[in-house]
Structure 1
Amino acid sequence: MAGVQSIERAFAVLRALARGSAGVTEIAERTELPKSTVSRLLSALEHEGAVVQVEVGGGYAIGTALSTLGAASAPRASIRTTVRPFIEELALMTGGSSGYTLRDGDTAYWVDNVDDGDELVLLADQTGQSFPLHTVASGLAVLARLPADALDRYLSDMESTSVDAVFSDPTALRQRLKSVRSDGVMVSREELDPGVNAVAAAFRGPDGDWDGAIYLQGPSFRFPDAGDEKRVVKLVVEAANQLSDLLAGR
């Protein structure tokens, strides 16, 4: 199990660096790992070319070895470039914060986020972080699309974990997911995060699987504007559908 833990921590370091170059102290803060552990992992990753030191005594950045590996799955590697215009337009058209997450096993990995330029109240930027699927709107949107056997396995695993979440009861969560699947969208009215409203819809990746979800969110006191929720929901669903078609090459 020690080897598995080392791999998980190494990926945590790489995800932290995906947000931008950083030194040992900053990476330790982003990953909540001891500085000594981060230093050891960086040394091993640097040896493999997965990270590089920007300058002697300076910060670290993602290395060329990962770029080479990423090239082997070009369609998936290009998702970020493909999605960016969609989330920029959603933020512009609604005044909300828009972004997307990708499914990473049983978690939603926060890849990118865009805030409207006139946003007065900025929500916490969670780019580069991972959350259990049932704890965030985008994760719930994906979870609702999983095949029955995969969903059963996820719900079963939930019972053996102690993640503090609104949807901590598997039976209640299953009922909510039926509604999300039927509507094609997850709408949270301060349900998942006090003071925050969110709308999310899942999209298919190049392989046809439900790889991630696109979302819009904002402070509940002003998002969405009064009487504008129906339009916002429609925009998110349409963006997810168009993105699925584009990624599938249709």
Structure 2
Amino acid sequence: MRKLILLISALFSAGTMSNAYAENKTPDCDSLNIMLMSMQEELDINANWRTAGSSPQKFKTVSVGDSSKSADPSFDINCPNLKASYDGKVLKMKADSYKGITDHLYKQLNRGVDLYNYRWYSDPKIKTDFKVDKYSFDLERLLLTDGYIKMPEGSSISNKQSFIPTTAVISYRVNGGALKPLLVNKSVTKYSSDFKTAKTIDIYHKNSDMSRRGFGVERIFIDKENGVLEIYKEHVFPPK
């Protein structure tokens, strides 16, 4: 928890933060970043950029999206080298290249998004011993991680990921082909060679725990050739 607070504080330490609707603000495209931040109860998707402050040494950070806590977190941003839209459930980004997208993703420890995240206390009454159960997808390196490091391919998950239920499944398609397993029966398949050569990657995820605790992402679509990234908080898992 302390690390999360420090990360957020570092982002805004040079200025102050204000919430605004995207349609009322013209973003500074040079400082624009898209933040995928797991909070206490949900994944917050925000667009942030800097505006001039009271002096040249200070600036304000404008943020639109889930952090505004408004009834409508949606935004639609058009920059010369990036387009990004969000309707509260789906984030869509388009750039000249896929690197043009990842360069605009806010980097914490990596440029990833949590497929599953559950935050809890060993003793919720006095809120001690804070813990996080999660696994993520690194959008830059195209790897399944435990949130920090790559989960080994071709082997069962480690004790650290023992919280993952047997019913949790990650599958993928490359270039519109057949659906293949990535995580099944608590084991990670060998997938990275497919991702390295693929033009398009479509990842589907389901975890029955999300219906009662935690949150996550159920689909990620990547088009490396045409510079497209789509992230779905909710999506139907394909039958095949």
Structure 2 length-normalised TM = 0.31
TM-score (norm. length: structure 1): 0.30
Higher strand fraction (1 or 2): 2
The structure richer in helix per residue is: 1
